[in-house]
Every structure is written in C-alpha cells, then in structure tokens.
Structure 1
C-alpha cells in the first residue's frame, strides 16, 4: 500500500517498517519452512516470484503490510539500520467487497528467538491503532486454522476478538473485533500515542 510506503511505527519491543525489496531475501528464507507455510496457508515461491509479490503488495490499495523488527535483535544484514532484526510481518487485507472498512489481519513471527515474548501482541495493538486512524477500519477480522491454539489464544483471550463462525470445509475459525464502545476508545487513545517515523530517514 502506497500510504505506508515510507512509514515506520515504533513500539517498546518492535518497530514496524514497510516491506521493501531489501527484506525479500530473508522473507523468502522464512517461507521455505514447511511449518510456516502451513501456519500461513502459503505456497512456496521462487525468489523472483517473491520480489514480484513484494512489488505488487507495495502498490495494491487493498493490502497494508509491515515487516516486524525485534528491537532486542541486531539489524538484519542487508536491510540497513532501522532499530532491530527482522522477526516477522503483519498485514491487513481489505477484501470484503460489501464493506471496504473491514480489515482481515494476519501476523507471523518467523524467527524462533522472537516468539513468546509479547511481540505479536504489541505489533497488533500498534497496527490496529494505525488502521483505525489512517485506514478507517471499523472491524477487524481473522481466519485461523482450528488447530492453531496459539493464534486463537492471541486474538481471542489477549486481544478480545470473538468467534463468529467455523468452517468445517476449510477447518478454520473466523473471529472479529468491532471498533465500537470501549474498543474504539482504547484504539483511539493508542492512535494518538503512535510514534510514527519516516523509513528512508531512519
């Protein structure tokens, strides 16, 4: 998405930066892992296809993607100095044709050393506040494999999403969080505290 092409979002544990070509090589390495392919319902791509995908995602108005940097890790070689090592990514997909303000969220913590340390929760909280303020999101949605207990707990117990449906065919659970009432107030307050930067000047 062009809107976040030069935007960074800084948290206590993470820095969110736009997905650029310098990130593709490491991202491609991650996506060779069969466990990550299964968790993200992804097919392995060639490195050329991965570069092409990055270019498309940077241009598409219905996708907003950030690379998640772990501030406790050194900068990933070849990606410049932006305050941490590549640990995963976080995405919004605006693919509900009936309501363009619904964002389907995804997050991946690919680096084992960065897991189970609260990075996913902080990254999503930052990203959701950004989505409310800059993208006009009125509802967040996730679709999670029914056996993915960690993700179900992350979005359900930790972030307050509620289950709305289950698909026996796809073996996945759909959860949603409407931006209203206390949720809206909390996200608005978080949005006012966002620490935004400019990627090319970092």
Structure 2
C-alpha cells in the first residue's frame, strides 16, 4: 500500500517499517518453515515469487504491511535492518464494497521473540494505525484452531468469536470500532511515534534516544 511506503512506527520494544526488497531474503528464509507455513496458511514460494509478492504488497491498495523490528537491535546502527527483523503485520481490505472492514494478521517469525508481549504491542499499534490512517471500523482475525496463543491474545484485546470453519480449521474473531473502542485504542497507543522512514536510515540511535 502506497500510503505507508514512507511510514515508520516506533513502539516500546518494536519498530514497524514498510516491507521493502531488502527484507525479502530474510522473509523468504522464514517462510521455508513448515510451522510458519501452517500458522499462516501459506504455500512455499521461490525467492523470485517472494520478490513479486513484496512488490504486490507495496503497490496494491488493499494491503498494508509492516516488517517488525527489534527496537533494541535496530538502535544499533552497526546492524543492517534485516538483522533486526522478527516478523510482520498486515492489514488486508478484504471487501471492495466496504473499505472500513479489515482483516488483521500478525506473524512473530523468530521463536525467541514469542511469549514476550510483542505480538500484543504490535497488534495494538497496527489497529491504531488502521483506525486513524485507513478509516478501519471493523477488524477481523482468522486464526488456525490449533493456534491457541493467538486466539487468546485477540480475545484479550476484546475480539469476539463470530464463526468457526471446520473445513479450513480456523476461527474468525471480530471487533467493531465504535467511539469508545476508538478512544481506548488511541489512548492505549499514545506511546507510538510515527516518523518518516526515509529520514531514519542514518540516525537510528539518535531517534531512539529522543
């Protein structure tokens, strides 16, 4: 999505940056994992196909994708950005007749970063961005029935279970963003800073200390 191509979102423990070509090799290595393929309902792609997918996510108006970076590692300017990658988060506008409906997906690809609250922080940041910048009024999350951790996280964020598909072995959870939800969400993410991504490349350490 063009709207976020120069957007960086900084949180307590993570930094979200647009998915660009430099990230593709690391992402491609992640997606060789049968576990991640199962969790994301994805098929393995060739490296060239992964580059094509990245371009699609960057250009298409119905996809908004950020790569999740470890903020502490990102602050070390001696490290390349791809060395700081821990996962990704996506918003898909799935209904052309209703641009306010968005499907939310998050993947913490690095096992050592799971169970540390990062998924919750990233999800809240992405929802706040979706509400304030994309006009999202209803979120959906479709999660594999055996992914109890993700299901539990979304329910703690006040998503409600609306359906179970036994054929695809997934549960759909939803949240409607009324005024009280919007206020709570924005209040809960006042820590989030939005920056110009193109201006951060050479000054990461200074930005984090601000």
TM-score, normalisation: structure 2? 0.89
Are residue 123 (structure 1) and residue 117 (structure 2) matched? no
Give the secondary structure class of the aligned counterpart of 2:99. Answer: coil
Tell me the residue number matched to 2:47. 47
* Root mean square deviation, CA, Å: 2.2
Query: Structure 2: 5+ residue runs without aligned partners?
Result: 201-210
Tell me if structure 1 keeps the 8 A contact 2:124–2:189. Answer: no
Work out the number of aligned pairs and report it.
200
Tell me the residue number matched to 1:114. 113
Assess, with a 3 A threshold, how the Cα gap between structure 1 residues 3 and 78 changes in structure 2: closer, same or farther: farther
Tell me the residue number matched to 1:20. 20
Q: CA deviation at 1:193?
A: 5.3
Tell me if structure 1 keeps the 8 A contact 2:91–2:102. Answer: yes
- State the alpha-carbon separation in 1 of the partners of residues 78 and 51 from structure 2: 15
Tell me if structure 1 keeps the 8 A contact 2:24–2:54. Answer: yes
Tell me the residue number matched to 2:99. 100
The 5 A counterparts of 1:147-162 are 147-157=146-156, 159-162=157-160
The 5 A counterparts of 1:1-202 are 1-73=1-73, 80=80, 85-157=84-156, 159-190=157-188, 194-202=192-200
Q: Deviations over 1:88-115 (max 9, x none)?
A: 0000000123422111000000011211
- State the alpha-carbon separation in 1 of the partners of residues 76 and 193 from structure 2: 22
Give the secondary structure class of the aligned counterpart of 1:177. Answer: strand
- State the alpha-carbon separation in 2 of the partners of residues 42 and 80 from structure 1: 27
- State the alpha-carbon separation in 2 of the partners of residues 131 and 58 from structure 1: 16
TM-score, normalisation: structure 1? 0.92
Tell me if structure 2 keeps the 8 A contact 1:23–1:79. Answer: no
Query: Structure 1: 5+ residue runs without aligned partners?
Result: none
Tell me if structure 1 keeps the 8 A contact 2:93–2:100. Answer: yes
Q: CA deviation at 1:73?
A: 3.4
Compare 165-174 and 183-192 and name the one that shifted more: 183-192
Q: Deviations over 1:41-89 (max 9, x none)?
A: 000000000001101110000000000011233679998459x810000
